[in-house]
């Protein structure tokens, strides 16, 4: 059993209690994690608040903050194999993906390191002749960051990076379903040389999240997770009037027109829904395919899906690993059963594998005769693809927009004018054309509707961790007139 500690005010601590973390591939306990208490949360927020005002951080130049972030990025890159191993062990995400993703996480910190001294104010051409007026961008304060277990090093980078670049301090709650990589990340952060209290990392259940998001010294809550939890966070933020950024779930349409490059579209769809075992908020979980190519598309897709290598997540030849928790498997099976009962046709997959671990095979549901099947509107968060077909562009749009989510969409067509029409009209925060799941620190991402609000990544994310101060400077040497003298 490996043991991990929480990180509060620059010190590593055992929790007053702890819990075992299970390996999703074996269902066996492999690590012991500290379980934070509400009092731990309070100490972490107070440490972040002290650090925010302490001269070691508050008076540090933006360039110096950037150098610390560069150092952190280098440490992440140097320790990527260890971080990838821990994320794979704790969440079941395959080593091929965690290795590549964590190496790229370092680029997010490098991006925000370079951005730290480029967060600028503005001079206003004010309509008063004896006034100079300018705007200062100042850090918003203590940030509460809450991340789920899937891709947590990436999802924390798009919160920690811009928040620290802007000069904020952070208390991060790692998911209790797989916190090992974040608790290990705390050691790298400590090595980078940041002042104590600038970042605090702990883990625990709902009481930890509630205490954190309600705390009066929290100025902003950055959350990635599900809509139900987000509703609780929004209610909690009424106590402290904290601003929020919410990156939530998705039910993303993958739209394929009759002129699409079929092989490319099939490969992108396979990656878009079965990579990470479908445990991605941007998973292309709804295939919306032109009726004239539906049969050919499904034939290719199912043939490839049946050849996917399902295995141990730490094996380099594995293409689909286990789900993270047994609860996910139960949710997926129940939703498949409900959808079949409503007329969806199970093309392939659909049952948990009879082996140790939380394994589900790639699954395809044809919903052509089941427009009301729940699989078309509810998020699986697993390797399940729901299929519908269309005849006209307007019909494709109606299907694509027929959900309360609005995170991502894929469009496959060789018709440039059609692509532009679709880009304008599809309701999503991200649109990929003839590609899928591409990301970059330079480009923001986020959604609409039940997929949340706010953006992560890019320049805008850093600006969202600032507040604007207007400064007025009177330049006239003349005395200010007596306001009560009639003129």
Q: Would residue 445 count as lying in a domain?
A: no
At residue 364, φ and ψ (nearest 5 deg) are -125, 130
Whether 224 and 372 map to the same domain: the answer is no
Q: Would residue 485 count as lying in a domain?
A: no
The three-class DSSP label of residue 271 is: helix
Beta-carbon contacts of 417 under 8 Å, excluding residues fewer than 6 positions away, are none
In the predicted structure, residue 227 carries a pLDDT above the cut 70: yes
Catalytic residue annotation:
247, 281
Whether 280 and 166 map to the same domain: the answer is no
Q: Would residue 179 count as lying in a domain?
A: yes
* Position 15 confidence tier, pLDDT thresholds 50, 70, 90: confident
Query: How do residues 305-344 score in pLDDT, each as one tens digit?
Result: 999 999 999 999 999 999 988 999 999 999 999 999 999 9
The answer to whether 248 and 147 are in contact (CB under 8 A) is no
Domain encompassing residue 324? 253-433
Q: What is the pTM of this model?
A: 0.94
Whether 267 and 328 map to the same domain: the answer is yes
Q: Would residue 142 count as lying in a domain?
A: yes
The three-class DSSP label of residue 32 is: strand
The answer to whether 229 and 32 are in contact (CB under 8 A) is no
Report the pLDDT value the prediction gives residue 239, as an integer from 0 to 100: 86
Whether 330 and 385 map to the same domain: the answer is yes
Report the pLDDT value the prediction gives residue 439, as an integer from 0 to 100: 93
Whether 222 and 305 map to the same domain: the answer is no
The single residue listed with the structure tokens 């939530």 is 248
Closest CA to 352 of 374, 326, 377: 326
Dist CA 94 CA 84 (whole Å): 9
Report the pLDDT value the prediction gives residue 12, as an integer from 0 to 100: 97
Q: Would residue 446 count as lying in a domain?
A: no
Report the pLDDT value the prediction gives residue 485, as an integer from 0 to 100: 79
Whether 404 and 273 map to the same domain: the answer is yes
Query: How do residues 24-53 score in pLDDT, each as one tens digit?
Result: 999 999 999 999 999 999 999 999 999 999
Closest CA to 228 of 379, 96, 103, 374: 379
Q: Which residues on adjacent β-strands are paired with residue 146?
A: 173, 223
Whether 235 and 297 map to the same domain: the answer is no
Q: What percent of the chain has pLDDT over 70?
A: 100
Whether 106 and 123 map to the same domain: the answer is yes
Query: How do residues 350-370 score in pLDDT, each as one tens digit?
Result: 999 989 999 999 999 999 999
Beta-carbon contacts of 116 under 8 Å, excluding residues fewer than 6 positions away, are 62, 63, 65, 66, 69, 164, 165, 166
Query: Within 10 A of 107 (CB to CB), how many other CB atoms are there?
Result: 16
Report the pLDDT value the prediction gives residue 417, as an integer from 0 to 100: 97
Q: What is the CATH number of the domain that holds 357?
A: 3.40.309.10
Dist CA 31 CA 180 (whole Å): 8
* Position 172 confidence tier, pLDDT thresholds 50, 70, 90: very high
What is the number of domains present in the chain? 2
Whether 230 and 262 map to the same domain: the answer is no
Dist CA 179 CA 185 (whole Å): 10
Whether 205 and 79 map to the same domain: the answer is yes
Report the pLDDT value the prediction gives residue 150, as an integer from 0 to 100: 87
Q: Would residue 480 count as lying in a domain?
A: no
Q: Which residues on adjacent β-strands are paired with residue 346?
A: 365
Whether 282 and 367 map to the same domain: the answer is yes
Dist CA 50 CA 53 (whole Å): 6
At residue 297, φ and ψ (nearest 5 deg) are -65, -50
Q: Would residue 479 count as lying in a domain?
A: no
Whether 352 and 232 map to the same domain: the answer is no
Q: What is the CATH number of the domain that holds 134?
A: 3.40.605.10
Q: Would residue 162 count as lying in a domain?
A: yes
In the predicted structure, residue 487 carries a pLDDT above the cut 90: no
Report the pLDDT value the prediction gives residue 51, as an integer from 0 to 100: 98
Query: How do residues 276-295 score in pLDDT, each as one tens digit?
Result: 888 998 999 999 999 999 99
Name the average pLDDT for the chain. 95
Query: How do residues 396-413 score in pLDDT, each as one tens digit?
Result: 999 999 999 999 999 999
In Å, how far from its chain's centre is CA 444?
11
The answer to whether 52 and 58 are in contact (CB under 8 A) is yes
Mean pLDDT of the region 457-463: 93
The pairing of strands 466-474 and 131-139 is antiparallel
């Amino acid at each position: 059993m490996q043991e991990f500690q929480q990180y509060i005010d620059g010190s590593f601590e055992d929790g007053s209690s702890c819990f075992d973390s299970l390996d999703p591939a074996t269902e066996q306990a492999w690590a012991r994690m500290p379980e934070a208490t509400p009092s731990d949360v309070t100490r972490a927020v107070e440490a972040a608040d002290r650090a925010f005002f302490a001269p070691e951080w508050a008076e540090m130049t933006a360039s110096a903050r950037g150098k610390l972030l560069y150092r952190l990025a280098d440490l992440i890159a140097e320790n990527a194999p260890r971080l990838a191993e821990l994320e794979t062990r704790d969440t079941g995400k395959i080593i091929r993906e965690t290795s590549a993703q964590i190496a790229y996480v370092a680029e997010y910190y490098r991006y925000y390191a370079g951005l730290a001294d480029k967060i600028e104010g503005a001079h206003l051409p004010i309509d008063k002749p004896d006034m100079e007026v300018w705007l200062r961008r100042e850090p918003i304060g203590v940030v509460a960051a809450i991340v789920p277990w899937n891709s947590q090093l990436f999802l924390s980078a798009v919160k920690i990076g811009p928040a620290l670049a802007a000069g904020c301090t952070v208390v991060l709650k790692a998911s209790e379903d797989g916190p090992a990589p974040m608790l290990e990340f705390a050691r790298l952060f400590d090595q980078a040389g940041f002042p104590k209290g600038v970042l605090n990392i702990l883990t625990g259940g709902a009481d930890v999240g509630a205490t954190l998001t309600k705390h009066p010294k929290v100025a902003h809550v950055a959350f990635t997770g599900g809509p139900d939890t987000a509703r609780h966070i929004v209610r909690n933020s009424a106590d402290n009037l904290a601003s929020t950024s919410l990156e939530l779930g998705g039910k993303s349409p993958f739209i394929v027109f009759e002129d699409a490059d079929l092989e490319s579209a099939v490969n992108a769809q396979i990656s878009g829904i079965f990579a990470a075992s479908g445990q991605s908020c941007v998973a292309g979980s709804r295939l919306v395919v032109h009726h004239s190519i539906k049969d050919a598309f499904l034939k290719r897709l199912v043939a490839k899906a049946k050849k996917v290598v399902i295995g141990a997540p730490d094996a380099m030849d594995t293409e689909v690993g286990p789900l993270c928790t047994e609860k996910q498997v139960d949710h997926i099976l129940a939703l498949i059963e409900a959808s079949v009962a409503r007329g969806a046709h199970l093309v392939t997959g659909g049952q948990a594998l009879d082996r140790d671990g939380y394994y589900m095979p790639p699954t395809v549901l044809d919903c052509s005769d089941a427009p009301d099947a729940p699989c078309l509107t509810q998020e699986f968060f697993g390797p399940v693809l729901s299929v519908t077909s269309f005849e006209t562009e307007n019909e494709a749009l109606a299907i694509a927009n027929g959900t309360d989510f609005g995170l991502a969409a894929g469009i496959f067509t060789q018709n440039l004018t059609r692509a532009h029409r679709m880009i304008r009209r599809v309701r999503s925060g991200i649109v990929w054309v003839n590609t899928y799941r591409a990301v970059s620190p330079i480009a923001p991402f986020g959604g609409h509707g039940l997929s949340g609000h706010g953006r992560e990544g890019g320049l805008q994310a850093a600006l969202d961790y600032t507040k604007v101060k207007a400064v007025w400077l009177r330049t006239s040497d003349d005395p200010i007139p007596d306001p009560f003298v009639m003129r």
